[in-house]
Structure 1
Amino acid sequence: MIERIVVRGYRLFQDFEMVPTTGLNIVVGGNEAGKSTLLEAISLGLTGRVDGCWAEEQINPYWFNQQLVANYFAELAAGNFPKAPEILIELFLSPANPDIRILRGVYNSCTEDVPGPRTLVGALRWRSNSVKNESNIRLVTKCKHCQSTSA
């Protein structure tokens, strides 16, 4: 069972956390409130897929929270070098199931030793040594569990 859901920077969720109750949970809200986005984030966190395709094949700028992106570009325009926006999805699972012990670890936003996948999607920015203020942005997905990165 999922005991806690953390979604940061994904679509309309700038900083969202939910602790579902044991048993049945019903998510209710108006149009564009984030019900489908929450289900999509859970699916992305569990499977690495969106709409049946690998996230790295479907990634697009609309996944990132628009306010975080606007703040990022405003900081760049002001001459600052802010951290690029990223998406974080963490699913904290119940440790009662012995089959998921392999997913245990402290690489989560709470640094708790609990099982669960952590999905981080972000942009790598690097500066050229030869040209001042040159930056390149490349989107990547990183799986903290297996430590693999794909571009």
Structure 2
Amino acid sequence: MQSATDRQKQTIHGLLDMPRWEAVALLEAGYFFMQLGKKREAREIFTGVAALFPHSDVPCVALGNFYLSEGKPDSAIQELLRALQRVPQSATAQAHLGEALLFAKRIQEGVEALKKAIELDPKGFAAKLAHELLRANDLHVFDGP
């Protein structure tokens, strides 16, 4: 039997409370639609989840990834900054912001964001992503036209 604390940890709180797995499934559906090329549906899902959970950075990061995959780094940057307004210490949002800034040719800002992501969570996924993006930058991958 689960304790009340365990159930609470598995619940995402927002405009409505939802089991964590349901919120994850919604976001996964958005990524699935992205892979199928159903852009409108993916954007609507991510936007809806962001509205449902106004204190979570995760759906804003998903929207940022969506816009970056669409070749719209400025829109991605806006969403990732919104993610950081929600959760200022989000290493994941910081790493993805660094990536979007690099693609926007704002190299110095991107490098700074990536270094901050590493600082926030040196051993986490975000740091690994940031290190790889810094290596790519060192190879001048983002210097193109």
With the length of structure 2 as denominator, give the TM-score of the two structures: 0.32
Identify, as 1 or 2, the structure richer in strand.
1
Identify, as 1 or 2, the structure richer in helix.
2
With the length of structure 1 as denominator, give the TM-score of the two structures: 0.31
Specify which structure has the bigger relative contact order, considering alpha-carbon pairs within 8 angstroms and separated by 6 or more residues.
1
